[in-house]
Amino acid sequence: MPAATGWLVRGKDGRLTAYAPGDGGVLRWTETRPGGPHWTGPELIPAPGLLPYVAVAQGADGYVHLVGLRRAPLPDGRTGTEVVYALQYQSGRPVRDWRPLGSPYPADPSLAAQMGHPSAVVDTDGSLNVFVRNAGGGVCARSQAKTGAWNAWVDLKGADVRGTVSAALAGDGRVEVLAAASDRLLRWEREKPGVRFERAPDVSLRAAPSSAAAAVTGGDGGLSHFWHDADDRTVRAWRPPAEAVAGSEGPEDAREADPVAAAGGAARLGDGTGTGPVAVLRTVVDGHDCTVVAHRDEATGRSALAAYPTEDEGAGASWTLTGGPCLGAPALALDGAGRVVMAVIGTDGALWVARQKDESGLALGAWVRASA
């Protein structure tokens, strides 16, 4: 079930689509019209040999990229493991055939089998970038050129990486990569398409593996990163200090006034404890710029929701449990009517959604099983 949070996306036509791993491929549900409430699906996007995980990345063109790991027998009898991807151009339309991206270890299936699940992000050129934890505990990346051709796998180095890597696109075109190690988070940045990823200063904080996510929150297009603390499992928010942000221009830079970024620490968002990655959505609530966060509650297995004024973590965040127990991570998106939609895969394997009520605040309506 969903081990990432970006699995609910809105297409160019305003319809939402949800994706989840299924037997023999990826399950897909699609709204019949923008704003719902009816859905088609689940329909199976066949992918024999695909492991039960899918990363979903969407570009500004609305195209949806599905990325996963596939295992299949090799001619010599061994089992091969490779990264594969597929592309969907429009909501509800057929998905192009899965294409192989190989692995950093084309000659050694035993090392390829040790890769972590991939993460993906689409850059400002509309090109896909894929990241995996490699067999040595570092990170490898493979990036698509603007022409559509693929560059070779690149070793970004690093060590002791645990779980899945987080990758996100900042408003200024930078791609930021974050990976949890046992005693810190490792960081990489790429300023623009076509140049190399460079190591950025580590974050001397401990995050639970595979829990990191990011969203654009700054007026300058800067990212905030979110994760579950490795010790108490609460959600933390973090931004790079001003001097560590590419393009920072000194004391006048907006991030100098940001207490979280200036201190280089991470703000605790309330007392809610969770597992898996944190879902993040920035939206306007009652005229106020807000950041909405969601996760799977550690104690109950239910989804939980909180919101706070964007980049004002000091205002506090109060978590509310909602819906029944779910499998994997919840997802957040805005529907065609601009309402917050929260989605989960229930313990029955079905897609369940709750939409923001047409009233003040961020109250969600009743949970509804997706159906025609």
Q: What is the pLDDT along the chain (372 residues), one digit of tens a residue?
A: 555 679 999 999 999 999 999 999 999 999 999 999 999 999 999 999 999 999 999 999 999 999 999 999 999 999 999 999 999 999 999 998 999 999 999 999 999 999 999 999 999 999 999 999 999 999 999 999 999 999 999 999 999 999 999 999 999 999 999 999 999 999 999 999 999 999 999 999 999 999 999 999 988 899 999 999 999 999 999 998 765 554 444 434 544 555 565 445 799 999 999 999 999 999 999 999 999 999 999 999 999 999 999 999 999 999 999 999 999 999 999 999 999 999 999 999 999 999 999 999 999 999 999 997
Query: For position 161, what pLDDT does the model report?
Result: 98
Say what the pLDDT of residue 251 is.
Answer: 39
The answer to whether 349 and 18 are in contact (CB under 8 A) is no
Secondary element (H or E) of residue 128: strand 128-133
Report pLDDT for 240: 87
Predicted confidence at residue 248, as pLDDT, reads 46
Sheet holding 154-155, edge to edge: 119-122, 128-133, 139-143, 154-155
Which amino acid is present at 296? Answer: R
CA atoms within 13 A on the CB side of 348: 7
CATH for the stretch 8-272: 2.120.10.10
Residue-by-residue DSSP string for 66-99: EEEEEEEE-TTS-EEEEEEEEEE-STTSPPPPPE
What is the C-alpha to C-alpha distance for residues 144 and 213, in angstroms, rounded to an integer? 22
Query: What's the predicted TM-score (pTM) here?
Result: 0.93
**HSE-up of 318 (CA within 13 Å, CB side)?**
2
CA–CA dist 154, 305 (Å, integer): 37
Picking from 14, 45, 19, 46, the residue whose alpha carbon sits closest to that of residue 31 is: 14
3-class state of residue 174 by DSSP: coil
Q: How far apart are CA 120 and CA 256, in angstroms?
A: 30
- Structure tokens, 273: 């404890």
CB 185 within 8 A of CB 230: no
Residue with tokens 């949970």: 367
Residue 173 burial by Cβ neighbours in a 10 Å radius (0-12, 13-18, 19+): middle
In this predicted structure, what is the pLDDT of residue 259?
A: 53
The sign of the CA dihedral 168, 171, 173, 174 is negative
* 100 DSSP β-pair partners: 84
Contacts of 116 (CB under 8 A, 6+ apart): 132, 133, 134, 161, 163, 164, 165
Helix residue ranges, H only, 206-313: 259-263
Q: Which two tokens stand for residue 315?
A: 């205002």
Nearest to 165 by CA among 181, 154, 178: 178
Q: What does the DSSP 8-state code read for residue 257?
A: G
Give 121's strand partners: 129
Q: Which pLDDT score, from 0 to 100, does residue 252 have?
A: 42
